[in-house]
């Protein structure tokens, strides 16, 4: 089969003669084979030319079908788009970016007369069902995030069997170009951190972790604002892990190893704290002018990220101890020792912005302090549970002392509310221990119920005190004191304890 028989001569000329001849030769020979013999031949014929191998396999996938790729999109499958090409209603202006997963073009929307960015799967991936599903998921997740620091998704469209994402076009340069000019001053690094942590907080708030945060995925617009782009490797917190596994080939490593967290490199589950590790690398690179784990190859970078401590931070720890502490905490190998949320990171950066980068790190900030505050939070939960149990036992005595229906009803209500309080708090403790990535979400969900239950329990104690006021004055006074004490716990101690562990994440209460 002549693969150029349906193409105009001018289009065929876009491929170099030698390249096209080799592609034609391997394709023709492969069509005469099948099964393992075909695959073995392709591997041998293409040698180490992965692009050629992908192109041959793409052509074979539509060979013998009525796919429009053979008539209208073959050369686009191989070469991409050129200036003036129409992709649906969008006229291509030029290519503005290319990566392992996709190609990005600047284009003009011929209907609305505005410039947009078109992201199209890399030519060698367009016939992969897994990659097409991943591509659609990128559009769906990014479209749910509404924040000025995240490039807006306009549409997911299809033209000539090629899917593409239409996004806001952000003129400017990526941060990797900015970083090549040398280290930035601390105020500029803090500003980058503030903008990115706000954008990440918006993404994490929608249940999306980026997983590929790196300088060339961040654009500085002409007004100085940063835009986070490319959610091609994004993953939802809730139920996407199984889907991600189905979309990932065994043994594959998706993303940019130099900016991956240790858990990503090990192939473990990566939640929002993985983005915070990448953020630490990025901020460190901006501050000291080099990658903190200096290494460009996968093997060297993986070993450094997994085992080494960040390099080049000594001077920064002297001149900007607060900023250095932020970076150090982001770069903790253990996810549990990093910031608990992008919002907490943003809050600390805001404090540095106000007080200056040489401000002393906040209390409860170091990893050891973090462990202490978490232990105190767990102790607080069990202390409140014990307090509830003891006061519920006191309500049982009130029932025995006053022969009336009302004290019995008070005891039943107190027992029910104490049960709710106990179950919720034990759930939070176990979540913090066995599923720490979900503790922010679960704490936010539990907070309104805990406040209602705590308030109800205080009222029940006060009612019980009134019921026995005439019979047991001392016990009634103690119960009333317990009601006031419990009220103080959930109004003052509880919020302070929560903020010490989840700063910035739980603002209510």
Lookup: tokens for 2: 């002549």
Radius of gyration over every alpha carbon of the chain, rounded to an integer in angstroms = 30
Half-sphere exposure of 417 (CA within 13 A, CB side): 25
E strands present in 324-424: none
Torsion angle of the four alpha carbons 355, 339, 279, 322, in this order, in degrees rounded to the nearest 10: 30
Number of other CB atoms surrounding residue 106 within 10 Å? 18
The answer to whether 230 and 212 are in contact (CB under 8 A) is: yes
- Rounded to an integer, what is the distance from CA 85 to the centroid of its chain? 35
Strand partners, 117: 106, 167
Q: Is 212 a catalytic residue?
A: yes
Choice among 49, 185, 212, 249 that is catalytic: 212
The CA dihedral of 499, 503, 508, 509, to the nearest 10 degrees, is 0
Going from the C-alpha of 152 to that of each of 142, 169, 372, 458, the distances in angstroms are: 8, 9, 41, 48
**Strands ordered across the beta sheet of 153-159:** 86-87, 90-98, 102-109, 114-121, 162-168, 153-159
- Please list the alpha-helical segments (H only) found in 402-472: 405-434, 439-467
DSSP 3-state of 85? coil
C-alpha pair distances (Å), 307 with each of 211, 257, 297, 334, 357 = 20, 14, 16, 12, 28
CA 496 to chain centre: 27
Residue ranges of E strands in 196-330 = 208-209, 218-221, 226-228, 235-236
Residues marked as catalytic:
212
């Amino acid at each position: 089969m002549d693969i150029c028989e349906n193409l105009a001569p001018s289009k065929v000329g876009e491929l170099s003669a030698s390249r096209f001849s080799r592609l034609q030769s391997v394709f023709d020979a492969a069509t005469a084979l099948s099964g393992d013999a075909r695959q073995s031949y392709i591997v041998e014929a293409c040698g180490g030319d992965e692009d050629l191998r992908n192109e041959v396999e793409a052509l074979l996938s539509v060979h013998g079908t009525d796919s429009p790729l053979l008539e209208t999109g073959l050369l686009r499958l191989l070469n991409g788009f050129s200036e003036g090409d129409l992709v649906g209603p969008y006229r291509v202006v030029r290519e503005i970016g290319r990566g392992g997963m996709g190609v990005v073009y600047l284009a003009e929307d011929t209907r609305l007369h505005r410039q947009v960015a078109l992201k199209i799967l890399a030519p060698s991936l367009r016939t992969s069902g897994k990659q097409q599903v991943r591509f659609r998921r990128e559009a769906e997740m990014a479209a749910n995030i509404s924040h000025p620091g995240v490039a807006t998704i306009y549409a997911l469209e299809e033209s000539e069997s090629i899917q593409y994402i239409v996004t806001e076009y952000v003129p400017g340069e990526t941060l990797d170009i900015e970083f090549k000019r040398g280290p930035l001053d601390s105020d500029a690094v803090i500003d980058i951190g503030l903008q990115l942590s706000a954008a990440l907080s918006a993404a994490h708030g929608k249940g999306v972790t980026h997983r590929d945060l790196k300088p060339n995925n961040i654009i500085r617009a002409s007004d100085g604002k940063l835009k986070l782009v490319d959610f091609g490797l994004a993953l939802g917190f809730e139920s996407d892990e199984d889907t991600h596994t189905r979309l990932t080939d065994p043994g594959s490593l998706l993303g940019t190893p130099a900016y991956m967290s240790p858990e990503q490199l090990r192939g473990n589950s990566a939640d929002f704290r993985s983005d915070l590790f990448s953020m630490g690398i990025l901020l460190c690179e901006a501050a000291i002018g080099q990658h903190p784990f200096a290494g460009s190859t996968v093997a060297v970078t993986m070993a450094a990220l997994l085992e080494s401590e960040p390099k080049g931070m000594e001077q920064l720890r002297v001149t900007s101890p607060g900023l250095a502490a932020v970076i150090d905490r982001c770069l903790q190998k253990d996810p549990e020792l990093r910031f608990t949320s992008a919002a907490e990171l943003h809050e600390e950066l805001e404090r540095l912005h106000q007080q200056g980068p040489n401000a002393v790190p906040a209390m409860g900030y170091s990893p050891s302090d973090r462990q202490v505050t978490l232990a105190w939070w767990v102790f607080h939960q069990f202390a409140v549970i014990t307090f509830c149990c003891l006061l519920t036992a006191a309500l049982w005595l009130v029932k025995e002392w006053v022969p009336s229906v009302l004290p019995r009803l008070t005891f039943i209500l107190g027992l029910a509310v104490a049960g709710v309080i106990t179950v919720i708090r034990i759930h939070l403790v176990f979540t913090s221990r066995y599923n720490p990535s979900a503790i922010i979400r679960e704490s936010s969900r539990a907070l309104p119920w805990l406040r209602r239950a705590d308030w109800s329990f205080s009222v029940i104690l006060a009612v019980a005190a009134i019921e026995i006021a005439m019979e047991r004055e001392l016990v009634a006074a103690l119960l009333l004191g317990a009601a006031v004490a419990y009220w103080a716990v959930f109004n003052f101690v509880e919020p302070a304890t929560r903020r010490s562990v989840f700063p910035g994440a739980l603002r209510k209460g």
